[in-house]
Amino acid sequence: MGDSAVGEHPSTNASNTDKSSKSLPGVTSGRKASAQRSGASRPAAGKATDTAKDTTAERGIPAGATARTSASTSPVGKTSAGKKAAVKETPLAKPAAARTAAKKAATKAVAKKTAGKTVARKTATTKDAATKKAAVAKAPAAKKATAAKKATAAKKAAPAKKAPARKPESRVAMVRRARRINRELAELYPYAHPELDFTNPFELLVATVLSAQTTDLRVNQTTPRLFAVCPTPEDMAAMDPERLEELIRPTGFFRAKTKSLLGLSAALRDRFGGEVPGRLEDLVTLPGVGRKTANVVLGNAFGVPGITVDTHFGRLARRFGWTTAEDPDKVEADVAAIFPKSEWTMLSHRVVFHGRRVCHSRKPACGACPVAPLCPAYGEGETDPEKARKLLKYELGGQPGQRLKPPADYPGQPAPPMAAP
């Protein structure tokens, strides 16, 4: 087929065939044989037809069909398909131009393939790079996740660690902390004072005796009427017991308190010339007067330093870790060993103030407590700041204080007088 197509352009193909015969001596005998079979005097077309016939006859293909096919498919015979076919079927007999074209086509095809491969390789490389990049990018996250999983697993596997035992606080450290608490309380309550209304030592002594088992507010609301009736020890000692009971009834335990008041008033009149003594040892000899009452009077009416251990002071001293004692005398001794004497009276007021306003017996407001960082008992009460703030009392809670006549520097409101019965 290829040969027949080429043979349709004798001017070119004949000469090419000759040239190729010259340039390829090894194949000359074959071409000569072919020329002998087809006849040298025949026109080129007839030659081609015969060649085609020979070729098709050798392959068992009808000659007419071959001629038709070749005439219809490649009338010009210069198509690349034809050239390719020629290269395939008779490589030795093809003309030089056809071989060159075929080479070019082959080169192009190879180039295309190479280019394709290169592109494919590049694509593959790019894909690989992208995959590697993605892998690298994923690697830290994956590592992190693995590390987190390992840590969780290790945590689960490891036996629960016990919290390191807290070192017992040394005496020196406790004293330092105690004094820091005192300084903090001094900043918090610069206006701390005794919360009993009084104008002289006798009034303070009587008010302190009445304050047992009741509030200072109740005493302050009671004493104005009492002192209006009996302002001196002599007046009180001369009172009718029932009348006195009636006057102090609002403070509770009024029979026992009446007995104490009548006894100490008579003792002051009889043994101390109607004056309150300024010594502890004398004060504690009076009926109904213990160390606490004596210290209140000494500290606030005489300027003699004293530690007042009432229910608030004892509770806070234990919460602060200053003492473990329950007995008021032992608490007083323990606290006296921590602070200098000059601080005793005001320390008492500050601690009692804090106990009444913040560190309550049942619901201490730990979440609103300025000394919480220094307090070993933090957490005994409400730690939520919002809830704790609602537990604050008196001036810190926006309420009136306990005194009807508070000192000038008191930032809160005075207490109201007792309501008429």
* Footprint on this chain of ligand SF4 (rule: CB under 6 A): 319, 358-359, 364-366, 369, 371-372, 375, 377-378, 380-381
Distance (Å, whole) CA 43 – CA 381: 126
CB of 321 to ligand SF4, least distance (A): 10
Sole residue written with tokens 């004094």 = 179
In the bound complex, what is the minimum distance in angstroms from residue 295's beta carbon to ligand SF4?
22
Nearer to ligand SF4, 80 or 361 (CB): 361
DSSP string for residues in 46-66: HHHHHHHHHHHHHHT--HHHH
292 catalytic residue (yes or no):
yes
Looking up tokens 């104008």 gives 199
| Distance (Å, whole) CA 20 – CA 22 | 5
Q: At closest approach, how far in Å is the CB of 396 from ligand SF4? A: 12
CB of 317 to ligand SF4, least distance (A): 11
Active-site residue, from 127, 257, 310, 384: 310
Closest distance between ligand SF4 and the C-beta of residue 177, in Å?
A: 12
C-beta closer to ligand SF4: residue 97 or 374? 374
Which two structure tokens, joined as six digits, stand for 296?
A: 């209140």
CB 299 within 8 A of CB 205: no
Catalytic residue, candidates 292, 341, 387, 405: 292
DSSP state of 206: H
For 378, residues 6+ apart whose C-beta sits below 8 A from its C-beta are 366, 369, 372
**C-beta of 170: minimal distance to ligand SF4 in Å?**
20
CB of 228 to ligand SF4, least distance (A): 39
* Integer angstrom CA distances of residue 328 from 231, 263, 331, 340: 31, 24, 5, 19
Cα(407)–Cα(412) distance, integer angstroms:
10
Angstrom distances, CA of residue 362 to CA of 20, 349, 404: 122, 20, 27
The whole-angstrom distance between residue 91's C-alpha and the CA centroid of its chain comes to: 84
Output 86 or 366, the one with its CB closest to ligand SF4.
366
413 forms beta bridges with 400
* Catalytic (active site) residue 329: no
Give dist(CA 203, CA 225) in Å, integer: 12
| Residue 413 DSSP class | B
What's the CA gap between 126 and 143, in Å, rounded?
25
Q: 3-class SS at 377?
A: coil
| CB nearer ligand SF4, residue 177 or residue 292 | 177
Residue whose CB is less far from ligand SF4, 197 or 310: 310
**Cβ(308)–Cβ(212) below 8 Å:** no
- Quick check: 96 and 16 in contact, CB under 8 A? yes
Start-end of H helices in 158-215: 171-188, 201-210
Looking at beta carbons only, is 268 or 388 nearer to ligand SF4?
388
Q: How far is CA 283 from the centre of its chain?
A: 59
Which pair of structure tokens corresponds to residue 85? Answer: 């076919």
Nearer to ligand SF4, 113 or 183 (CB): 183
CA dist 282 → 24, 267, 268, 271, 296 (Å) = 151, 11, 10, 10, 14
Q: How far is the CB of 351 from ligand SF4 (least distance, A)?
A: 10
| Smaller CB separation from ligand SF4, 219 or 365 | 365
- Residues annotated as catalytic are 292, 310
